[in-house]
Amino acid sequence: MRVVFKVVDRLLERVRHDLARPHEFAAERVGFFVCRAASLAPEGVVVLAHDYRPVKDEHYLDDPSVGAMMGPSAIRKALEFALNNKAGMFHVHMHDHAGRPQFSRTDARESAKFVPDFWNVRPEMPHGALVASKNSLWGLCWYPGMSEPIEIGEFVVIGSPMVFVGNGQ
Amino acid sequence: MNERYARQSFLGPRSEEIFKHCRACIIGLGGGGSHLAQQLAHLGIGNFRTFDADHVEDSNLNRLVGATQADVDSKTPKTVIAARLIKGINPNASIVSIPKKWQESAEYLRDSDVIFGCVDSFSERQQIETIARRYLIPYIDIGMDVHALENQFAISGQVILSMPGELCMKCMGFLHEDLLAREAANYGAAGSKPQVIWPNGVLASLAVGIFVQLMTPWQKNHRRVWYLEYDGNSQTVATSNRLAHLAGTVCNHFSSLEDLGDPFWGVDLYGTVPDEFAPQR
Strand partners, B98: B51
Categorise residue A14: left if φ over 0, alpha if ψ from -120 to 50, beta otherwise. alpha
Min Cα distance B63 → chain A (Å) is 32
Confidence check: pLDDT of B280 > 80: no
What would the mean pLDDT of B84-89 be, rounded to a whole number?
98
Would you place residue B112 in the very low, low, confident or very high pLDDT band (cuts 50, 70, 90)?
very high
Predicted pLDDT of residue B277: 44
Confidence check: pLDDT of B270 > 70: no
Confidence check: pLDDT of B268 > 60: yes
Predicted pLDDT of residue B106: 86
Strand partners, B264: none
Domain A2-166, CATH class in plain words: alpha beta
Would you place residue B185 in the very low, low, confident or very high pLDDT band (cuts 50, 70, 90)?
confident
Chain B residues within an 8 Å CB radius of A160: 163, 213-214, 222-224
Give the Cα separation of B126 and B193 in Å (integer). Answer: 19
Chain segment A7-36, per-residue pLDDT in tens: 999 999 999 999 999 999 999 999 999 999
ipTM over 0.85: yes
Confidence check: pLDDT of B187 > 70: no
- Please name the amino acid found at residue B178: D
Report chain A residues touching chain B, CB-CB < 8 A.
Answer: 1, 4, 6-8, 10-11, 34-41, 43-46, 48, 50-51, 85-87, 123-125, 143-146, 156, 158-162, 164, 167-169
Predicted pLDDT of residue A12: 98
Chain segment A141-165, per-residue pLDDT in tens: 999 989 899 999 999 999 999 999 9
Chain segment B189-230, per-residue pLDDT in tens: 556 788 999 999 999 999 999 999 999 988 888 889 999 999
Predicted pLDDT of residue B54: 97
Would you place residue A169 in the very low, low, confident or very high pLDDT band (cuts 50, 70, 90)?
low
Cβ contact B21–A168 (<8 Å): yes
Chain segment A67-114, per-residue pLDDT in tens: 999 999 999 999 999 999 999 999 999 999 999 999 999 999 999 999
Mutation target for A interface from B51, B111, B140: give the one with most A CBs within 10 A: B111
CB of B261 within 8 Å of a chain A CB? The answer is yes
> E strand or H helix at A58, and its extent?
none
Predicted pLDDT of residue A168: 54
Cβ contact B266–A124 (<8 Å): yes
Give the Cα separation of B134 and B90 in Å (integer). Answer: 31
Give the Cα separation of B275 and A169 in Å (integer). Answer: 31
Taking a C-beta distance cutoff of 8 angstroms, is the pair B77, B54 a contact? yes
Chain segment A52-64, per-residue pLDDT in tens: 999 999 999 999 9
Cβ contact A41–B277 (<8 Å): no
Average pLDDT of chain B, as a whole number: 92
Nearest to A85 among B214, B224, B257 (CB): B257
Nearest to B279 among A35, A39, A168 (CB): A39
Chain segment B8-36, per-residue pLDDT in tens: 999 999 999 999 999 999 999 999 999 99
Annotated domain spans of chain A = 2-166
Chain A residues within an 8 Å CB radius of B215: 161-162
Predicted pLDDT of residue B217: 87
Taking a C-beta distance cutoff of 8 angstroms, is the pair B56, B67 a contact? yes
CA B205 to chain centre: 12
Would you place residue B116 in the very low, low, confident or very high pLDDT band (cuts 50, 70, 90)?
very high
Give the Cα separation of A149 and B155 in Å (integer). Answer: 55
Cβ contact A6–B215 (<8 Å): no
Cβ contact A123–B107 (<8 Å): no
Chain B residues within an 8 Å CB radius of A4: 111
Chain segment B27-75, per-residue pLDDT in tens: 999 999 999 999 999 999 999 999 999 999 999 999 999 999 999 999 9
What would the mean pLDDT of B85-96 be, rounded to a whole number?
97
Predicted pLDDT of residue B279: 47
Chain A residues within an 8 Å CB radius of B164: 8, 158
Predicted pLDDT of residue B108: 86
Taking a C-beta distance cutoff of 8 angstroms, is the pair B225, B161 a contact? yes
Percent of all residues in chain B with a pLDDT value above 90, rounded to a whole number: 79
What would the mean pLDDT of B94-104 be, rounded to a whole number?
95
Predicted pLDDT of residue B189: 55
Chain segment A85-96, per-residue pLDDT in tens: 999 999 999 999
> E strand or H helix at B90, and its extent?
none
Strand partners, B95: B48
- Chain B residue with minimum CA distance to A44: B280
Nearest to A8 among B136, B223, B280 (CB): B136
Q: What CATH number belongs to B10-277?
A: 3.40.50.720
Predicted pLDDT of residue B47: 97
pTM, two decimals, is: 0.93
